[in-house]
Structure 1
Amino acid sequence: MRLLPAFSEINTADLGKFDLVALGDGVDHLAPSLREQLSRYLMASASLISAGNTSDPLDPDKGTVVPMGFSTDGSWAWPAYWSYFVREYGMALPEEFVSHVRSLNFTPPALSSEQVERASAEVQETLYG
């Protein structure tokens, strides 16, 4: 299971288990034509866990609008907030992930409950050993 990195500005208990990127380093680095398609893909993929919302570290005045949790398409997994930052700020994604999503025509696969359970176990193993 490949994992998208976590953002260093969003504190979670397991933050140290992820590769980290700074939000400011990737803002407005995504082609505008890809924002909506990639955000939709990230948001529509299978949810492994949903944990409410937190505030936007780039604009705290927006309130608690950033989704927390974890999602997967069966090959990749990511913190749920990626969809928000891609849509709102054009946050750059790794090219390997963008190529993967393009190969699926920006349509996340429908995963069975067994596939979601397997993906969840793989994420747990990757992060926690």
Structure 2
Amino acid sequence: MRILGVCAELWPGVTAEPLPGLVTLVGHEPPDDEERVVGYLRAGEEIFSAMGVVADLLGSSERVLGGDSIFTDGAWVWRGDLWFYVSRHHLRLPGEFLDSVRASGYRPPAVGHEDLVAIWEDVKPLL
């Protein structure tokens, strides 16, 4: 399991070492397929549902419903507000993740129940 959007504001418990700030992941130009990548992020398997809204940590007045929720595609894990940061702020994602998204035709694979439970058990201590 790998975590997308690793930064101090979104994943503070992921490591004891200091993490970069969210602003360091902001891109200047969106990739040509940004909308399709956002669709992939929104279509992942939800392994933790959080009710409520979270504020845009980069300063807009926008809020994201369920931003603290956790999603996966079986290999990667991300927060429910990651799609927002990619869409609004062109947050840069790892090339390895983007390669797998493009190779899948922008459709997350089905993840079995046992795998979802195992991923959740791995992620839970980080929250």
Question: TM-score range with shorter-chain normalisation?
Answer: 0.7 to 0.9
Which residue does the alignment assign to 1:48?
Answer: 47
Higher percent of residues as helix: 1
> Taking structure 1 as reference, are residues 27 and 35 closer, same or farther at Cα in structure 2, changes over 3 Å only?
same
Off by >4 Å, runs of 4+ in structure 1: none
- Asked whether the equivalents of residues 5 and 20 of structure 1 are also in contact (C-alpha less than 8 Å), the reply is no
**CA displacement, residues 63-112 of structure 1 (integer Å, 9 cap, x when unaligned):** x3261121100011112221110111111001111111112111101223
Which residue does the alignment assign to 1:101?
Answer: 101
For 1:115 and 1:16, how far apart are their aligned partners in 2?
22
Which residue does the alignment assign to 2:3?
Answer: 3
Q: What SS does the corresponding residue of 2:91 show, helix, strand or coil?
A: coil
Amino acid at match of 2:46: S
Residue segments in structure 2 that go unaligned for 5+ positions in a row: none
1:62-81 to 2 correspondences below 5 Å: 62=62, 64-65=63-64, 67-81=67-81
Q: CA deviation at 1:39?
A: 0.9
RMSD: 2.4
Matched-pair identity in %: 31
Which residue does the alignment assign to 2:122?
Answer: 122
Question: TM-score, normalization: structure 2?
Answer: 0.79
Higher percent of residues as strand: 1
For 1:31 and 1:65, how far apart are their aligned partners in 2?
20
> Taking structure 1 as reference, are residues 93 and 33 closer, same or farther at Cα in structure 2, changes over 3 Å only?
same
Amino acid at match of 2:95: E
Question: TM-score, normalization: structure 1?
Answer: 0.78
